[in-house]
Chain A
Amino acid sequence: MSPVTKNILAALDLDLEDVQTIVLRPGGYPSARYTFLHISDPERGRACLKELVSHVTDATLTPDGERPDLALNVGFTWKGLEALGVPWRSLASFPPEFTQGMRARADYLYDVGESAPEKWDRVWQPDGDQVHAWVGVFSKKVGGFEEQVETELAKLREIIDGYAIKILHQDKVGMLQVNGKPSHLEHFGYRDGISGEYIAGAGEPDPDVAGGARTPEGGWRPLAPGEAVLGHPNEDGELGHLPFPMGLARNGSFLVYRKLEQKVYTFRKWLEEEGARYPGGRERLAAKLVGRWRNGAPLVSFPDAPPADQEVDRLGREKMTGFTYGGDLDGARCPHGSHTRRANPRDSLGFDGTLVNRHRILRRGLPYGDWIPEGEETPDHDEGHGIVFMVINTSIERQFEFVQREWVNYGNDFRQGNDPDPLIGHHPAGPDGAGTQMVIPGDPLPRSENGKSEAEEPGRPGHVPWICARLPEFVVTKGGDYFFVPSITALHLIAEGKLETS
């Protein structure tokens, strides 16, 4: 057993009562409201937080393994911590990327061109009141949640108003209603949120560890708790960088908040046109871009055609989340440059996944805007639709920023040169008009019984190699920031001004 695994087992019991819900519980909340606050006075800010803390939900589960019906979580930007009067010695101990905030990291994150911070939503602009706090209210209900969430928000507003805290902005997110029914699809028409990496010690009764971290024996194990919760051993068997003092850091986490606008019209139109040229057709092209078919079935397990939608829900974890790329090193089934293979390369980079385990992110995202039925999209629909993409991690630089920069916007680790992620990468037009491209390797399989490759067999869909050139910008950043999500203990310490830093 590796030392890391030993550490994980030693730390198997996380203090779930001290960790905020969002840190350890992905999914399970189909709708949410995110409210952004400005705190103009430290004393009143702390008094407000003191009242708010009793509403903040933790990561404990009911005896049946259920999450609370409604969750309320809170996080602070570095400026927010300053506005609450957190002592300087603590403020100075946070890692630089958090201190700077997402806006200052724009070049590093490829938030340039259409995604440049000057074009972000009003609330993120530097000339107005700065975003200090994020309050997330999550509901388990799919229908009728509005009322439930509104009641909770009214309570929140009452508390906040009493302390003259300013509400700057609100983002409403929730599962899309497709054909009148709640759906796992996102706006481009792919099933989203399939893999939710399980953290050791999170206490889920039937955890899905498939797709977590590889064991040398070829199985899967949970990710080390220190990848999601500060103050616990991470995948290197270390505590990593912690803000000071331990009471502030332990059981906290960092939340990356990014509002990503999806150009529904541009994407569907491009897919239609390129899909008409691509010999495999539109749906195969759609799958090659992402690494999964629209209904979520991975290309590695289903290289030729997706299983029926009804069947997908019955597929075992091994097929849906526990697959590997070791049998597809040439990318014939799932292109190296496809979205999901980049964002989580699994065993692609060798060394039993050790290199990949250091750069895992825990996604907590939901769409905003209404679903546009297929065929009804117009150029207007390039605005107002997208995903509020959130990430839980303990090192923003090592986890989220690394994935965004090295894997999503650069292809070298996958031998794709400068090619970015075809879906969410930045796609600038090149100086010579070449722009950005995605290479889809050819697939000589399957061969028919007579040993001929399908290319020699007319009438079968081609698996020829293809280069998608001059990719348009499909996804544009509309704003966001980095938030510290303190433990319940730390929230009390901040609220009471009792952070001992001497």
Chain B
Amino acid sequence: MSMIERVVSGPGVRLLAKLLPEQKGHSYGLTILTPIRPGPAQGTGTEGATRAAASGNGGLARRDVTHAGVLRAKLRALKNGPESPFARLPGTHLARWVVLDDVPFEAFPAAEDHLRSRYLLFTSNFDGELDPYLDAMWEKLNPEITSLYGHCQGFDETVNDADSFRSYMKECKIFTTFFFPATPHLTRDRILRALQTQRRVARFIVEHQGTTDAAGLQADFHQLVSEIREAETPAPGTP
């Protein structure tokens, strides 16, 4: 058993799960490691494939024709901020996809360790339970999911609907150690609204502080409260 497997499975994890659960308050700390398909990606870079064959050792001369390479290029093209795909995913505080090549080399030979595959890492801090979140992912992020996970092992063969996607992702889920949410008691939308409220109240105070017109102040304050109540929740990713 490799060091990594010892860390992510076994009795140690069960103990950790008790001490540091993946769920705190509203927050869920999700980690999914999906093995990326080895070899060249279909239909890309015949040049690279030719050079790979010419090199004679099964290796590839050009990174960008592997599934991992294509994945990286696709991830680079994703937008951040309000245009991030994760902004379409309800309840997402922080999320990212990363291509994991291997673990860092530490020392030879005692601590040398390798991953058995490259992985697509997906981490997310979100509100609520896992199943509905994965269902929302399938529904709201379908173009990205099929495009990205098509480079992962077993995806094209097994996933064709929300149910099969849910089981696929759960199969690849590992336990999130040391999950520390800064605001476990607040949902994303409450935080977005709270920031909006803070901005509006600060502006209100600046405009009214020092006034002696109590009736006017009260009227304006009621107006502010109803405005805040009726205001739409700001879009995720906005400052």
A8 to chain B, nearest CB (A): 33
Q: Is the CB of B198 within 8 A of A417?
A: yes
9 A-B pairs with C-beta separation under 8 A:
A277-B210, A278-B210, A434-B203, A465-B205, A467-B202, A467-B205, A467-B209, A469-B203, A470-B206
List residues 188-239 of chain B with CB under 8 A from any CB of chain A.
198-199, 202-203, 205-206, 209-210
Residues of B within 8 A of A470 (CB): 206
- Interface contacts (Cβ under 8 Å), in number, total 22
Residues of A within 8 A of B210 (CB): 277-279
A108 to chain B, nearest CB (A): 20
- Cα(A200)–Cα(B203), bound, Å: 48
A465 to chain B, nearest CB (A): 8
Interface residue? A195 (CB, 8 A): no
- Cα(A437)–Cα(B202), bound, Å: 9
Interface residue? A466 (CB, 8 A): yes
Residues of B within 8 A of A434 (CB): 199, 202-203
Question: Which single residue of chain A is at the shortest CB-CB distance from B209?
Answer: A466
**A423-453 interface bits toward B, Cβ cutoff 8 Å, 1 = contact, 0 = none:** 0000000000010010100000000000000
Known: A279-B210, A437-B206, A469-B203. 5 other contacts (CB 8 A): A277-B209, A417-B198, A437-B202, A464-B209, A466-B209
- Cα(A471)–Cα(B202), bound, Å: 14
Bin the interface of chain A by size: 10 to 19
Secondary structure at the B interface, as helix, strand, loop or mixed, is helix
- Cα(A278)–Cα(B209), bound, Å: 8
Question: Which B residues fall within an 8 A CB radius of A?
Answer: 198-199, 202-203, 205-206, 209-210
B221 to chain A, nearest CB (A): 15
Question: Which A residues fall within an 8 A CB radius of B?
Answer: 277-279, 417, 434, 437, 439, 464-467, 469-470
A-B residue pairs, 9 tightest by C-beta: A469-B206, A467-B205, A467-B206, A277-B210, A467-B202, A466-B209, A434-B203, A437-B202, A467-B209
Residues of B within 8 A of A439 (CB): 202
B239 to chain A, nearest CB (A): 9
Question: Which single residue of chain A is at the shortest CB-CB distance from B199?
Answer: A434
Residues of B within 8 A of A469 (CB): 202-203, 206
- Cα(A279)–Cα(B210), bound, Å: 7
Question: Which single residue of chain A is at the shortest CB-CB distance from B210?
Answer: A277
A288 to chain B, nearest CB (A): 14
A275 to chain B, nearest CB (A): 12
- Cα(A278)–Cα(B205), bound, Å: 12
Question: Which single residue of chain A is at the shortest CB-CB distance from B206?
Answer: A469
A239 to chain B, nearest CB (A): 23
Residues of A within 8 A of B203 (CB): 434, 469
- Cα(A434)–Cα(B201), bound, Å: 12
Residues of B within 8 A of A466 (CB): 209
